Amino acid sequence: MPYAITVVPVMPLRAEQSHKSEIISQALFGECSEIITTGTDGWVKVKCQYDGYEGWATVNHLETIDSTLFNAPYTHYTASWINGLMLNGKPMQVPFGCVIKHGTTDVVNWGKLTVQFEEEPAIIGKENLVNLEALRKAAFLYLNTAYLWGGKSVFGVDCSGFTQTLFKTLGIPLLRDAYQQATQGTTVDFLQEARFGDLAFFDNAEGRITHVGVLLNDHEIIHASGKVRVDPIDNQGITNIDTGVRTHKLRIIKRYF
């Protein structure tokens, strides 16, 4: 199968090969995919390398690459809210959290494209050496970002896109959806034992996990609900700090580092 790399700031992944179709996820600049099906009118079905998510994208958002680049590790990420670069000598701005292969200030080649960053991207962390200060700074970069179903960027994000992108910069791979992320990590038995960076998961009336957020401590959570916000949490769940209304019922807490 051909390999490709995302060469626009944010690439929508759609359920069907139509611009009117639901956005189910996104791929940020620098993320690699396998092209698994070629559709009509410039559409391709891709499988994201990072989390295995599949969706339809337009081929002009991608550049074909060889297996060497596809199999290379992600080494850096863009650390500012917005990051300048030159793509084939022309300026582009990309959001926080784009994971990069060989991301330095030197010119790098992606297929027929050359990429040069204005500032050297940050080095992706290691699972056993998490920089909590960097994690907190990254989480608050999203504050007041609008909720967007399928979103993964500071321009618009959903709850699990928020957690996945944050943890990606730590070198900790999370799956795409909240219910999938809840299968990872180790269980924290009580909210009072929670620490910064643990993820709290919430279920609906049918018992399905539908929401996730990052615990700041044992009584506050930052999460994407309407917008990225900080709300109080207790053993029952989240209360909207502005309205006083209970919004999410706590199901489980998981730890990843």
pLDDT digit string, tens, across residues 20-78: 999 999 999 999 999 999 999 999 999 999 999 999 999 999 999 999 999 999 999 99
- Mean pLDDT across the chain: 96
Over 90: is that where the pLDDT of 11 sits? yes
Using pLDDT thresholds of 50, 70 and 90, give the confidence band for residue 126: confident
pLDDT digit string, tens, across residues 174-223: 999 999 999 999 999 999 999 999 999 999 999 999 999 999 999 999 99
The DSSP string of 120-138 is PPEEP-BTTB--HHHHHHH
Using pLDDT thresholds of 50, 70 and 90, give the confidence band for residue 108: confident
Residue 128: its pLDDT value, please? 75
Residue 103: its pLDDT value, please? 65
Residue 129: its pLDDT value, please? 85
Residues 6 or more apart whose CB falls under 8 angstroms from that of 204 comprise 210, 249
Instruction: Name the DSSP class of 153.
Output: E
**Direct distance between the N- and C-terminal alpha carbons of the chain, in angstroms, rounded to an integer:** 35
Please give the domain boundaries of the chain with CATH numbers for all domains: 3-123 (2.30.30.40), 132-255 (3.90.1720.10)
Using pLDDT thresholds of 50, 70 and 90, give the confidence band for residue 102: confident
Instruction: Name the DSSP class of 74.
Output: P
Residues 6 or more apart whose CB falls under 8 angstroms from that of 33 comprise 3, 4, 5, 6, 27, 46, 47, 48, 49, 57, 62
Percent of the chain with pLDDT over 70: 98
Residue 89, CA distances (Å) to 84, 85, 116, 225 in order: 12, 9, 8, 39
